[in-house]
Amino acid sequence: MLGGVFRSRLKAYASTLMPETVQEAALLGEKFAKRGYKAMKFGWGPIGRDARFDEAQIRAIRSAVGDDIDIMIDAGLAWDLKGALRMADIYAKYNVFWLEEPLHPDNFAGYRELAARTSVSIAGGEQESGRKAFQRLMDEANLDIIQPDLARAGGLTEGRKIATLAYDRHKTIVPHAFKTGILVAASTHFAAAVPNAPMIEYTVSDSPLARDLVASPIEFKDGYVTVPVDRPGLGIEIDEKVLHAYRVG
């Protein structure tokens, strides 16, 4: 229904909050590497409070996981343009794959200058809804990696339109999928069905909505997820008990 599969396996990155200490950050990186992740993202938490501490965090993570694993940083809107430029230079030293949302989402001029002045790929888009907003991110902000959240951006149909806009502009799509196992499943099918989405976010949150809501989650193994094309719909089952336990209204 989405038009066919471009790839049956997708690289999946572990996505978690940045811990409060350097030691915890290193241990988390080591844990994800042992689980088979070939990419991992750390976000929010203490990022942006102190540049020296931020560098100590990324230095510890890189040291723990080695040079062959992709590391991404989600800054959580931490800086103005000058702060983001300073940190992009630091992150480049540790081969950070992308820097996500370092500026406020509507700072198009800032993003455009940041993207032009750093070798680190700049990512964003989880805040946006509808293809028109994403077109502005691509054309005015010149982001390198576009991150629609299907639960917010307009679902699978609008997501495909956004992916086409990105493809025409030679941009990479990596869907944002942190909240629930349902969103991870939808994002897996979406990414498999477009040519410019080589990776998905695979939340490792301890939230029951991320861990328990889906009884048969998308399978992760050796750094990749397999698209469940042999099962109906999104290829998952909802645990009704968990659904009703957290239902509102």
Could you give the dihedral angle defined by the CA atoms of residues 11, 93, 173 and 230, in that order, rounded to the nearest 10 degrees? 0
Q: Say whether 194 sits in a helix, a strand or coil.
A: coil
Provide the 10 A C-beta neighbour count for residue 226.
17
pLDDT in tens, 72-86: 999 999 999 999 999
211 is a domain residue: no
80 is a domain residue: yes
33 is a domain residue: yes
- Please tell me the total count of domains within the chain: 1
Alpha-carbon Rg for the chain in angstroms: 18
Q: How many CA atoms lie within 13 A of 140 on its CB side?
A: 13
* CATH code: domain of residue 72: 3.20.20.120
Q: State both tokens at 81.
A: 């343009």
Element (H, E) at 211: helix 208-211
pLDDT (average), residues 173-193? 94
Residue 3 has a pLDDT of 82
pLDDT in tens, 30-61: 999 999 999 999 999 999 999 999 999 999 99
Of 191, 209, 89, whose CA–CA distance to 147 is shortest? 191
29 is a domain residue: yes
245 is a domain residue: no
Residue 14 has a pLDDT of 97
Q: How many CA atoms lie within 13 A of 231 on its CB side?
A: 13
Q: Which domain holds residue 95?
A: 9-204+219-228
Of 222, 205, 131, whose CA–CA distance to 173 is shortest? 131
pLDDT in tens, 78-137: 999 999 999 999 999 999 999 999 999 999 999 999 999 999 999 999 999 999 999 999
- Whether 2 contacts 197, CB under 8 Å: no
- Whether 61 contacts 42, CB under 8 Å: yes
Query: Does residue 23 register a pLDDT over 90?
Result: yes
77 is a domain residue: yes
- 88: amino acid identity, one letter: A
Percent of the chain exceeding pLDDT 90 equals: 86
Residue 9's contacts (CB-CB under 8 Å, 6 or more residues apart) are 224, 225, 226, 227
213 is a domain residue: no
210 is a domain residue: no
Residue 117's contacts (CB-CB under 8 Å, 6 or more residues apart) are 85, 88
